[in-house]
């Protein structure tokens, strides 16, 4: 499929580059998009190529060519032969009125004058001129939702962002020209004004974006929200999409949830500009005060009653258990969402090759104490629902490192999404500064990227499970995607030859942990949509756990610094029910500031 697509694209580009492009020359925005497409295709930046192609296709669709092939044919003259004879047939595609031949010429022929001359001829009655004038005013309703929701403008903006993050200056210039042409088409004459509407300029200059982690620092002054689709949310950028005809999903998981639920309530005409820039540090992101020393002491030293077997979790009445796997994973329904939950999660990973004891504490809580060979103790406290609420690492010299410390109150006892109390989240940075592909990055870039603070301030600490269940909360931290792992079909096991794919991520984690041993990394597992939902949830959860185990066993990442969650097919990057490599992935997020007061 990729070879076929490459041959088609190469052939098409050669054909197009040899022509004067008479059809394209009639439409400045289309011509600019085509030029940007040619420039991007001559480079090596896959993201820029994909974005430029999407922008060109959006322009093709705007002028009535629904596919790239058809647009190329039109540009090379194949479709031109059909146009001269019946000028009234061309407008028939966007038929919206009972008398399309008269009313419709306005959209495609708004620039050329001929259709205006043809309209009076077929429509003699006095009543008809009124509709004939109506199309002239129709461009205004088309722009009513705000220029920021125009698909062609969105595609051109994304192509501009992608090209600006590369090193091909010609592609950047062409993409900027295409974007400005789109702005002009919608009545916006200034590039700065159009950028402000769409959420800000691209990351820094084309020469510097080689280090994605640095981009947020340079972008801080222009921390505005990039708009991309009619909901105001940016779309995923998928460099190697296996199913190129399938649409991509929004980049934010909360936007994916809203789309799947059919939530089409439009946000403001343009995403709200951030009143303040994103937090500059973890301390700036988390406003919750450090836990009182007495609470830390209670978590570590309060005497409990020894137990041999963990009690069954007391799940909220709003949670329905659909299925239980053999390894204690629960498929549950919370409202309309299907999730996977493992009570007392991570206990086996933490206790491997160590002495382990359990104690029953008050309020239905359970404490696990893991004693390592060097005397280090890992103390974990779960609430009566089996969720981790405290985790403290006590070194042999008595030093206490707070890993997880959430309030033990009733806020999470109904498992209501805490993100429901927050306004919709809009991405205040370019996508390139939010998603990093590990296989295309080096260890230093991954370390710097994961070290960046959350993109929003919080006034409280969340439990680890609240973060796992809330796409809205997780969306505030950047993600590193590991897409080059190959699991056997239906298997959660990785061969030893695959372990090396984790080396750069592991090295970055080690460097971060050397600065702060209290970090927590969330490893997410994702599948494509082939197979039953529950099977995909279990498989993705097992695969995330496999990656965590490998990071600990092969790279010595302490297991207490890792937690895992499977999401199955819930957050597809590419919207297809078939096989799609981009949907089968693992994601790493650093969630420290969400689950621990930063002052600790």
Per DSSP, the three-state class of 22 is helix
Q: Are strands 330-334 and 585-590 parallel, antiparallel or unpaired?
A: unpaired
Mean of all residue pLDDT scores within the chain = 77
Average pLDDT over residues 428-440: 93
How high is the pLDDT of residue 60? 77
Q: How far is CA 111 from CA 76, 106, 496, 546, in A?
A: 21, 8, 62, 59
Average pLDDT over residues 15-40: 62
What is the sign of the dihedral through the CA atoms of 238, 249, 161 and 278?
negative
Does residue 440 carry a pLDDT above 80?
yes
Higher pLDDT, 174 or 81: 174
Q: How far is CA 64 from CA 17, 59, 93, 104, 143, in A?
A: 22, 9, 7, 13, 18
How high is the pLDDT of residue 219? 39
Does residue 575 carry a pLDDT above 80?
yes
Least confident segment among 2-11, 246-255, 455-464, 577-586: 2-11
* Confidence band for 36, pLDDT divided at 50, 70 and 90: confident
CA 523 to chain centre: 15
Closest CA to 429 of 324, 283, 277: 277
Does residue 38 carry a pLDDT above 80?
no
Does residue 6 carry a pLDDT above 60?
no
How high is the pLDDT of residue 190? 77
Q: CA angle, 279 as apex, 277 and 281 as ends, to 5°?
A: 145
Average pLDDT over residues 92-102: 37
How high is the pLDDT of residue 548? 96
β-pair partners for 562: 521
Task: Give the H/E segment covering residue 369.
Answer: strand 366-371
- Which regions of 146-276 does DSSP assign to beta strands (E)? none
Backbone angles phi, psi at 502, to 5 degrees: -95, -5
Task: Give the H/E segment covering residue 377.
Answer: strand 377-382
Least confident segment among 2-6, 92-96, 479-483: 92-96
CA 512 to chain centre: 23
Task: Give the H/E segment covering residue 14.
Answer: helix 2-17
Does residue 329 carry a pLDDT above 90?
yes
In percent, the amount of the chain with pLDDT more than 90 equals 44
How high is the pLDDT of residue 225? 40
Query: What does the block give as tokens for 35?
Result: 């030029």
| CA atoms within 13 A of residue 361's CA, in its CB half-sphere | 21
Output b/e per residue, 538-574; b: 16+ Cβ within 10 A: bbbbbbbbbbbbbbbeeeebbbbbbbbbbbbbbbbbb
Average pLDDT over residues 569-592: 93
Does residue 39 carry a pLDDT above 60?
yes
Does residue 323 carry a pLDDT above 90?
yes
* Confidence band for 203, pLDDT divided at 50, 70 and 90: very low
Q: Over the stretch 457-513, which tens digit does the pLDDT of each residue have?
A: 998 999 999 999 999 999 999 999 997 787 777 788 887 777 788 999 999 999 999
How high is the pLDDT of residue 193? 73
In whole angstroms, what is the distance from residue 93 CA to residue 146 CA?
A: 24
Average pLDDT over residues 26-45: 75
Residue with tokens 């959430």: 406
How high is the pLDDT of residue 493? 85
- CB neighbours of 494 closer than 8 A, spacing ≥ 6? 485, 486, 487, 546, 547, 550
Backbone angles phi, psi at 168, to 5 degrees: -90, 100
Higher pLDDT, 166 or 139: 166
Report the 10 Å Cβ neighbour count for 335.
13
Average pLDDT over residues 444-455: 97
């Amino acid at each position: 499929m990729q070879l076929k697509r490459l041959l088609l694209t190469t052939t098409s580009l050669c054909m197009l580059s040899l022509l004067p492009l008479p059809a394209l020359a009639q439409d400045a925005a289309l011509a600019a998009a085509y030029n940007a497409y040619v420039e991007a295709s001559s480079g090596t930046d896959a993201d820029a190529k994909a974005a430029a192609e999407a922008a060109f296709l959006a322009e093709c669709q705007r002028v009535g060519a629904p596919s790239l092939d058809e647009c190329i044919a039109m540009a090379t003259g194949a479709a031109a032969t059909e146009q001269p004879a019946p000028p009234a047939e061309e407008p028939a595609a966007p038929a919206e009125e009972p008398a399309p031949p008269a009313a419709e010429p306005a959209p495609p022929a708004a620039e050329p004058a001929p259709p205006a001359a043809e309209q009076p001829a077929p429509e003699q009655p006095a009543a008809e001129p009124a509709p004939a004038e109506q199309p002239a005013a129709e461009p205004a309703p088309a722009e009513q939702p705000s220029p920021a929701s125009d698909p062609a403008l969105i595609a051109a903006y994304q192509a501009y962002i992608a090209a600006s993050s590369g090193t091909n200056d010609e592609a950047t210039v062409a993409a900027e020209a295409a974007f400005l042409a789109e702005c002009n088409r919608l009545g916006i004459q200034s590039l700065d004004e159009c950028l402000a509407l769409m959420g800000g300029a691209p990351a820094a200059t084309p020469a510097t974006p080689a280090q994605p982690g640095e981009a947020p620092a340079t972008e801080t002054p222009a921390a505005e929200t990039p708009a991309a689709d009619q909901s105001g949310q940016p779309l995923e950028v998928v460099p190697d999409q296996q199913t190129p005809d399938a649409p991509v999903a929004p980049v934010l998981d909360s936007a994916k949830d809203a789309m799947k639920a059919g939530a089409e309530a439009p946000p403001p005409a343009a995403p709200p500009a951030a009143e303040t820039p994103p937090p500059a540090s973890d301390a700036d992101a988390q406003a919750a005060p450090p836990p009182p020393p007495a609470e830390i002491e209670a978590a570590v030293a309060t005497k409990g009653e020894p137990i041999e077997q963990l009690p069954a979790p007391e799940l909220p009445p709003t949670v329905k258990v659909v299925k239980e796997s053999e390894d204690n994973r629960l498929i549950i329904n919370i409202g309309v969402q299907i999730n996977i939950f493992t009570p007392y999660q991570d206990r086996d990973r933490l206790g491997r090759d160590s002495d382990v004891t359990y104690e029953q504490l008050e309020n239905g809580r359970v404490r696990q104490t893991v004693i390592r060979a060097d005397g280090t103790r890992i103390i974990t406290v779960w609430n009566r629902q089996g969720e981790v609420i405290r985790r403290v690492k006590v070194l042999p010299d008595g030093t206490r490192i707070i890993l997880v410390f959430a309030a033990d109150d009733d806020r999470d006892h109904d498992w209501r999404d805490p993100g429901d109390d927050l306004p919709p989240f809009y991405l205040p940075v370019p996508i390139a500064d939010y998603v990093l592909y590990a296989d295309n990055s080096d260890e230093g870039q991954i370390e710097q990227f994961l070290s960046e603070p959350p993109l929003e301030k919080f006034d409280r600490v969340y439990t680890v499970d609240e973060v796992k269940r809330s796409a809205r909360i997780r969306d505030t931290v950047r993600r590193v995607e590991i897409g080059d792992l190959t699991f056997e079909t239906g298997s959660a096991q990785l061969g030893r030859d695959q372990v090396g794919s984790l080396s750069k991520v592991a090295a970055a984690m080690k460097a971060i942990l050397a600065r702060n041993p209290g970090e927590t990394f969330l490893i997410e597992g994702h599948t494509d949509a082939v197979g039953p939902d529950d099977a995909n949830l279990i498989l993705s959860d097992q695969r995330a756990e496999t990656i965590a185990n490998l990071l600990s066993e092969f790279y010595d990442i302490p297991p207490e610094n890792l937690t895992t969650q499977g999401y199955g097919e819930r957050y597809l990057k590419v919207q297809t029910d078939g096989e799609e490599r981009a949907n089968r992935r693992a994601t790493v997020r650093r969630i420290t500031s969400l689950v621990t007061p930063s002052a600790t």
